[in-house]
Structure 1
Amino acid sequence: MASVRGKRGGSASRAAAATVTFLALALLVLSGSRISKWRSPGRQEQPHSQAHVSAEGNASVSSPLSSSSGKSGGAQAGAAAAAECRLPSWRDSPSVADAAWYKPALNRRQLSRGIVSHGAQGRARRALAQLLRGEPLSVTVLGGSCSYVWPGAENWATLTFKWIRDTFPGAQHRLKNSAIPATPSSYMSLCSAWHVPDDVDLIFVEYNVNDMQGIQLPLRKAHERLLRKLLALPKRPAVVELLVYRWPGMRVEGYDEGWEDLESPYRYYGGDDENTVLANYYALPLLTGRSLLWPLMTLNEKNLSTQGWNWQPYQENLDHPNARGQALYADMVIEWLQQTLEHLTLHPLDSADEEEAAEALLPPLYKGNFAARTNTCLMGEQFSAAVKGHEGFAFVDEGKPGKPKTGWVATQPGSWLEFEVNTKQVAAEDGQPTIAVAIAHLTSYAHMGQANVSCVGGCTCEGVTIEGHLPEHHSQTVLTNVEVSTAEVCRLRVTVLPTSTSPDGEHKVKISGVVLSEVAGWTITDAVEDLPVLYGAQQGDVRWSDKGHDRDAPSEDR
């Protein structure tokens, strides 16, 4: 009888082991998609399913059966078999190292709220496949002050760059931040060649705050022209639309009245909705701060104000994220990178990705809104080389260390500045009779005056008045257009006028540069002016934490 019981016991043990193995494998398969979507090996947080990942990156499965039968060799064998069947991970690549410093403040489900769309993934998969092959990646950031690297502070771009370098240390990645404070899409759509390498692989674009809201705003068309120009670059790079949340309440006339009583402050401000349409139209990855931060602003009791929400834990001011907010944006971007790498590991790169990247662009969303094919940007010292004469103007740098603000400045009426440009080289392709010459100049709330722009040699144009005063408490570089006839040598003059709309009656004029473009590349309004962004970096009011990567609390010096 003893021998019979032994045989039965062995059969039962084998049956139990088989059952455990089957259940473990089934659990792994059922939870695998959740692991690949929400978790990557090495993350601290475990999924709600009982499948988890060890520190070494090996998937294991725990269940009431396997944990309670730890004394059973059959159960251990079942767990081992399940572990051997784990899903592949991008962290298995020999090119990957552990960025030990990186610990996201939110879990992956929370961060995924901000990833509104992965878009057409072919371009992103092509770019990130280079990381897994141990090849260098070229990344560029375009945007305004929310993406600009301010001295003494980290932001989402620097943190993302650091994660890429530390996680894929075997290659010399080229990570370029070309964000410029207080600039809209209209500038970058014409001057991107100055700021974006031709061989770039991945581009992040952040302009929704500086481009404001409004479907018909000329800056909306400028943003589309910028996207089209970037998507057409030689390597067909991945272009990611990043939307930074801007809280209403600046009380700017015509835009912010009654914001406390807004029916839907979630939708109120910035170009979020309009840029979302453009991102969807061109099938771009879309990452939004609004979707990421809104639950934190409204569902966390510590954040609630008397109005039911509060932006202050995440914003330095209404426009700019503080150190904590910047870290959350970095976490969201890194989460998108990880999800794309996970997708690439489970579905390796193939010819379909190449075909998708090579597809022709759709017709413009806004009819006829094609990007300018030729343009010339002369800014800063390059513009100074074009200056041929001046009286009362001087080239100065009014910026701070690490943040130059150069330009030609005059403060007295009658002062003049003359410069020469070749307006024929831009339009020669199509034989256009005129081109658009955009004068880049400062506008601000105090001390500013007016100036006249005229053609004085070699070309003709209708005179245009530059307005330097803004009623709002902001400073912004804007572009004012002049339609000029074509000529190899075209001489223009800027003359400071005796008139001023500034309350202080002063007459300061600052010219930063000039941009030449096909007229077809512009949206010319009745005032021959590409509408400026009125809400840029607030001089004297933008304070960034110098405490670095603060993930636990907003900066203390606010």
Structure 2
Amino acid sequence: MSSTAPHPILSKTTLDRSIRVLGKHATVDPLFRRLTAGLPITIGVLGASVGQNAGCLSQPGKRCMHFSGVGGRATGWAVRLLQHINASFPHHGHRIDNAAKDATPVNSFKHCLFSHLSADAIAKSLLVLPAQPVLLHLTVHEWCTQKLTPRRFYQVGDELKGATVSGYVYPDTPWERVDLESTRVCHHYSQPCLSPKHALEPHVLNGEPGFGLLDLTGEDCLHPANGRHGVAYLSAMLAHWFDRAHAMWRVTRHVNPRLNRRTVLPAPLHVQNQAQAPVARCYAFQKVTGKVESQSQRGLPWCSPQQTVSNDGVAALSCTPLLDDSHATCDIGGNRASSPHLGVRSADVPANSRYRALMATPQIGWFWCPVSLGGRNKPSAGVVALTPGSVLVASVDAYLPQAAPQRPGMDDGALAPADATLFLEHLVSYEGMGRVRVRCGKGCTCTSTVIDAHRIDSLRNSSVFVTTPVRVSALPSPRCELRLVLLSESSGGGHKFKLRGITVVAAAPESARADQRSEPQPAAQARLPYRRDRRGT
């Protein structure tokens, strides 16, 4: 956890080094015109766990409330940025809208952007909005591997080991390639980019006090919130960018007050982003008494018979998918899971004991669980199965008229089946995960698919949410019924499976058939001299 102890003051040279791209006058003009007019602004946060660590102030039920700075809680970097803005442009209406989702690679929710994006696709989607937002890219690197004890910083020439990073030689890493690609996108759209790693690395390599691993990220190697000074450094860089951008805007406006305030958005950097985004419907499992995190996410009707079946008996078992509060629920959240402000862990809620009891006598059927399955008890909503043979029946409207073929001579009243891709958002992990078989029931057809949620890596084992595509042909009525059965066969020896939501997408590209990787996707154009060819040359 970030410390309140004094931290080294970052020099102007270090802070300047963090700014890869400052942005142009036209980029920041809408922001500073609004602030100088005395109007409120909203800081939006997209991302995963580092985004949650940014904090929020008025989003009950979200983990970002742990970093609100209220009631003894830590103060996240977005909250600190808001405090910095309020010092110069005070307004009671300034707010933070934190849409980050834990353990979720950004490409897993690109179709449901406004429910919580490659960097080019994010920019293309956001910069066309009437509000003309400033899109600030903030990249966070992994500084070491958790596979070595004691921990040590990566050194130039270190070969990264692991299924997803095999062949990378530091400083060429997946995180560096994402950083370079983000910088290219920022230059292309004249949007700001910050890189804490590039600012701090000289201090790290020189072994300077205040820049050790425990200062930056702690034993975690990745999250600034776990370092003694990580959040303070990050916040200083954001405040420095804001001040420099404001100064640049003031000078430019003084020199040329008639400067065009709105620039024409350039063509996307990558050809695949030139096409209009496919139509999508975003569904999330939820409790009716709660609320879905985004207005663009629909509740997902589901049911699960309280009995198990063999793989061959799935089709015969039936129940009626409902969107109500009658579903079975896990009993490991305690007061903390239901607290509207997600306060500090209660001593009277033994989360570890509840979790062990749940796993010792697992429930039959799928059940709703608002927290992670483990002792940490983090907010992580979804439906879970633990017992092989448990069946989940979920109902989605998978018919997208835009994807329906127009056949010559077709009756006006006749509607042909429409092809779509259902992206199932589920957890993959190294610990106790199992497999499910997915079949289609009434309302749609598909090829039976097996999803394995067990993932291990020799470099960094992690638990993340990914999406697996299932291609379907859907009818306009009835709704498409998906049937998932937890299999007894397991590649890792466990049988946990957690499903968070389903996204229906029209005209999915062929590349969608491959399961998404949990690590950041490297940018093909960002090649560094330390990359070793996979053939060993």
> TM-score with structure 1 length normalisation?
0.64
Which amino acid letter does the alignment assign opposite residue 387 of structure 1?
Answer: W
Find the counterpart in structure 2 of residue 161 from structure 1.
82
Are 1:132 and 2:4 counterparts? Answer: no
Which amino acid letter does the alignment assign opposite residue 493 of structure 1?
Answer: R
Shift, 1:336, TM fit = 0.9
Q: Is the 8 A contact 1:246 1:269 kept in 2?
A: no
Change (3 A) 1:245 1:137: same
Find the counterpart in structure 2 of residue 515 from structure 1.
503
Q: Is the 8 A contact 1:450 1:465 kept in 2?
A: yes
- Of 256, 270, 285, the residue aligned with 1:380 is 285
Identity among equivalent pairs (%): 25
Shift, 1:263, TM fit = 5.8
Find the counterpart in structure 2 of residue 6 from structure 1.
none
Are 1:494 and 2:484 counterparts? Answer: yes
Find the counterpart in structure 2 of residue 481 from structure 1.
469
Find the counterpart in structure 2 of residue 116 from structure 1.
20
Find the counterpart in structure 2 of residue 506 from structure 1.
494
Q: Is the 8 A contact 1:410 1:508 kept in 2?
A: yes
Measured in 2, the distance between the counterparts of 1:170 and 1:394 equals 44
The more displaced of 457-466 and 421-430 is 421-430
Q: Is the 8 A contact 1:453 1:495 kept in 2?
A: yes
Find the counterpart in structure 2 of residue 397 from structure 1.
370
Measured in 1, the distance between the counterparts of 2:201 and 2:177 equals 15
Q: Is the 8 A contact 2:18 2:194 kept in 1?
A: yes
The alignment's C-alpha RMSD in Å is 3.1
SS at structure 2 position matched to 1:254: coil
SS at structure 2 position matched to 1:480: strand
Which amino acid letter does the alignment assign opposite residue 28 of structure 2?
Answer: A
Find the counterpart in structure 2 of residue 229 from structure 1.
125
Measured in 2, the distance between the counterparts of 1:324 and 1:409 equals 37
Give 5+ residue unaligned stretches, structure 2.
1-5, 54-63, 67-72, 148-160, 287-291, 293-297, 307-364, 407-416, 522-537
Which amino acid letter does the alignment assign opposite residue 341 of structure 1?
Answer: H
- Of 304, 320, 326, the residue aligned with 2:223 is 320
Shift, 1:385, TM fit = 3.9
Shift, 1:524, TM fit = 2.6
SS at structure 2 position matched to 1:524: helix
Equivalent pairs, count: 396
Shift, 1:350, TM fit = 4.8
SS at structure 2 position matched to 1:183: coil
Q: Is the 8 A contact 2:14 2:200 kept in 1?
A: no
- Of 389, 399, 402, the residue aligned with 1:424 is 399
Q: Is the 8 A contact 2:385 2:496 kept in 1?
A: yes
- Of 402, 425, 429, the residue aligned with 1:444 is 429
Measured in 2, the distance between the counterparts of 1:258 and 1:482 equals 31
Which amino acid letter does the alignment assign opposite residue 239 of structure 2?
Answer: I
Change (3 A) 1:153 1:258: farther
Shift, 1:114, TM fit = 0.5
Shift, 1:265, TM fit = 6.2
SS at structure 1 position matched to 2:74: coil
Deviations 1:275-321 (A, max 9, x none): 222322333211111221112212354368xxxxx544212221111
Deviations 1:33-92 (A, max 9, x none): xxxxxxxxxxxxxxxxxxxxxxxxxxxxxxxxxxxxxxxxxxxxxxxxxxxxxxxxxxxx
Shift, 1:104, TM fit = 8.8
Find the counterpart in structure 2 of residue 216 from structure 1.
none
Change (3 A) 1:355 1:289: same
Shift, 1:257, TM fit = 6.6
Change (3 A) 1:396 1:231: same
Deviations 1:221-276 (A, max 9, x none): x44322221122222211111111321434551356798xx564689756222322
Shift, 1:375, TM fit = 1.5
- Of 318, 330, 338, the residue aligned with 2:243 is 338
Give 5+ residue unaligned stretches, structure 1.
1-101, 196-206, 208-221, 305-309, 536-558
Which amino acid letter does the alignment assign opposite residue 93 of structure 2?
Answer: Q
Change (3 A) 1:406 1:264: closer
Are 1:105 and 2:9 counterparts? Answer: yes
Q: Is the 8 A contact 2:105 2:519 kept in 1?
A: yes
Larger proportion of helix: 1
Q: Is the 8 A contact 1:449 1:506 kept in 2?
A: yes
Shift, 1:464, TM fit = 1.9
Shift, 1:534, TM fit = 8.3
SS at structure 1 position matched to 2:495: coil
Change (3 A) 1:258 1:155: farther
Larger Rg: 1
